[in-house]
């Protein structure tokens, strides 16, 4: 019995420490960017990844309702054992077409897509050497770890370092270069043209995580590679349905032979229940809508520019103005948490503090995500609230 108590006590202590990192916030109802909560009443949300508001778009909701009426709730099984529905198949075809690739494979999340696809692509090829950006997402790290392939980590967006590492590896070895396009925490954009050029020179296959870019960038929402005319230069593109497309789920798109390998071997594809048909139907409606409509992308870009301008005027430092992810640099974990708590208590403004280990110590941020469904007046109110608290807590101005 005492061993059990010790086990529980130790885990409980670690958990309590981690839980203190986050504001507890139970959303009860409300449509983004507002919500009702039990403890804080009505709040406005500034850290959602539903960047384009597609989670409430009428076309998306109508498609979901139709699919529920047609197919019911759950998918009933894994993709290979009874769980595949015509919406999954249509969505995979649409995503392949969006990215100009031969095929695409759906997963139940972006995390599962990276974990599954990378563990297969890097792991099923003998002696593969993988080159991965130092700040790549946990799902990329886990996929590469599970692949067992040898890893070479290059400094964030540092092409000279990437090239140095590539040049030190036997030219005969199969190679894979992995990067995000819009970085999830910093909001900066990887130098994709240079990465693709270097990778090609060293004969490396390329994998780009466009989770924070699909829907938001490119003429049809296919992401940064497409926006820069580089889509063909990336062998595999990975995306999520949970951010710009407002649903849940993830995918990879690429050459048929690689996608077949992912379907055949990725454990996070094979050994789990497929997405509910209504989620696939909602995502399909979102992808189709955003291929044909620039309106949401333009609103997001305009709102991000307003936020950048207001923060700059007040000397509130942020990490990058290259995308819609606006990481306000606080640089100290207690200050960051205090700021987040005060914003909620005083102003009903909800933005989570992001502390280590999600970001390096000393780079603690408020990761602010304006969206296409915020109004310019909302952004002004948000910055005024932040500015007041910034002054009160004596945070440094840039």
- Residues catalogued as catalytic: 243
- Minimum distance between the CB of residue 363 and ligand PMP, rounded to whole angstroms? 16
Tokens standing for residue 70: 């047609």
Contact (Cβ atoms closer than 8 angstroms) between residue 244 and residue 52: yes
Contact (Cβ atoms closer than 8 angstroms) between residue 177 and residue 200: no
- Minimum distance between the CB of residue 240 and ligand PMP, rounded to whole angstroms? 4
- Minimum distance between the CB of residue 113 and ligand PMP, rounded to whole angstroms? 7
Cβ distance to ligand PMP smaller for residue 57 or 212? 212
Can you tell me whether residue 121 is helix, strand or coil?
helix
Other Cβ atoms less than 10 A from the Cβ of 94: the count is 16
The H-or-E segment that residue 183 falls in is none
Indicate the residue whose CB is closest to ligand PMP.
110
Q: Which residues bind ligand PMP (CB under 6 A)?
A: 109-111, 114, 137, 139, 180, 184, 209, 211, 240, 242, 250
Cβ distance to ligand PMP smaller for residue 114 or 303? 114
Contact (Cβ atoms closer than 8 angstroms) between residue 16 and residue 322: no
- Minimum distance between the CB of residue 49 and ligand PMP, rounded to whole angstroms? 7
Cβ distance to ligand PMP smaller for residue 37 or 181? 181
Cβ distance to ligand PMP smaller for residue 187 or 250? 250
Tokens standing for residue 231: 């889509």
What angle do the packed helices 159-167 and 192-201 form, to 10 degrees? Answer: 10
Cβ distance to ligand PMP smaller for residue 109 or 352? 109
Cβ distance to ligand PMP smaller for residue 367 or 378? 367
- Minimum distance between the CB of residue 345 and ligand PMP, rounded to whole angstroms? 27
Q: How far is 233 from 94, CA to CA, in rounded Å?
A: 20
Contact (Cβ atoms closer than 8 angstroms) between residue 109 and residue 242: yes
Q: How far is 211 from 208, CA to CA, in rounded Å?
A: 9
Q: How far is 305 from 11, CA to CA, in rounded Å?
A: 44
Q: How far is 93 from 102, CA to CA, in rounded Å?
A: 9
- Minimum distance between the CB of residue 1 and ligand PMP, rounded to whole angstroms? 39
Can you tell me whether residue 159 is helix, strand or coil?
helix
Buried b (16+ CB within 10 A) or exposed e, 274-311: bbbbbbbbbbbbbbbbbbeeeebbebbbebbebbbebb
Strand partners, 238: 209, 252
Q: What angle do CA 360, 365, 370 make, to 5 degrees?
A: 135
Cβ distance to ligand PMP smaller for residue 139 or 323? 139
- Minimum distance between the CB of residue 130 and ligand PMP, rounded to whole angstroms? 16
DSSP state of 274: P
**Parallel, antiparallel or unpaired: strands 250-254 and 150-154:** unpaired
């Amino acid at each position: 019995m005492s061993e059990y108590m010790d086990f529980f006590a130790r885990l409980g202590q670690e958990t309590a420490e981690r839980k203190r990192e986050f504001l507890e916030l139970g959303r009860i109802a409300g449509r983004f960017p507002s919500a009702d909560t039990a403890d804080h009443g009505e709040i406005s949300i500034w850290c959602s990844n539903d960047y384009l508001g597609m989670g409430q778009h009428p076309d998306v909701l109508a498609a979901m309702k139709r699919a529920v009426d047609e197919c019911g709730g759950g998918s009933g099984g894994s993709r290979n054992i009874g769980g595949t529905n015509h919406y999954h198949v249509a969505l995979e075809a649409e995503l392949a077409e969006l990215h100009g690739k031969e095929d695409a494979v759906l997963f139940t999340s972006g995390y599962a897509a990276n974990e599954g696809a990378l563990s297969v692509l890097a792991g099923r090829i003998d002696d593969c050497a993988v080159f991965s950006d130092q700040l790549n997402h946990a799902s990329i790290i886990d996929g590469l770890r599970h692949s067992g392939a040898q890893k070479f980590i290059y400094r964030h967006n540092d092409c000279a370092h990437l090239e140095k590492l590539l040049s030190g590896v036997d030219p005969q070895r199969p190679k894979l270069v992995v990067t995000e396009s819009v970085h999830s925490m910093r909001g900066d954009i990887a130098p994709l043209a240079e990465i693709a050029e270097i990778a090609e020179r060293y004969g490396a296959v390329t994998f780009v995580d466009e989770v924070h870019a699909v829907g938001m960038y490119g003429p049809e929402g296919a992401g940064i590679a497409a926006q820069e005319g580089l889509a063909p230069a990336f062998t595999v593109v990975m995306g999520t349905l949970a951010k710009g497309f407002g649903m849940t789920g993830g995918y990879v798109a690429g050459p048929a032979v690689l996608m077949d390998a992912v379907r055949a071997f990725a454990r996070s594809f094979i050994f789990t229940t497929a997405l509910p048909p209504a989620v696939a139907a909602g995502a399909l409606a979102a992808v189709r809508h955003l291929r044909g409509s620039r309106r949401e992308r333009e609103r997001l870009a305009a709102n991000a520019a307003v936020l950048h301008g207001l923060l700059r005027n007040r000397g509130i430092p942020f990490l990058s103005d290259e995308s819609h992810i606006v990481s306000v640099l606080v640089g100290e974990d207690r200050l960051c948490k205090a700021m987040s708590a005060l914003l909620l208590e005083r102003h009903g403004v909800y933005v989570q503090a992001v502390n280590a280990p999600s970001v390096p110590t000393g780079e603690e941020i408020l990761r602010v995500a304006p969206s296409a469904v915020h109004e310019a007046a909302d952004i002004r109110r948000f910055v005024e609230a932040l500015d007041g608290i910034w002054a009160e807590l004596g945070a440094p101005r840039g």
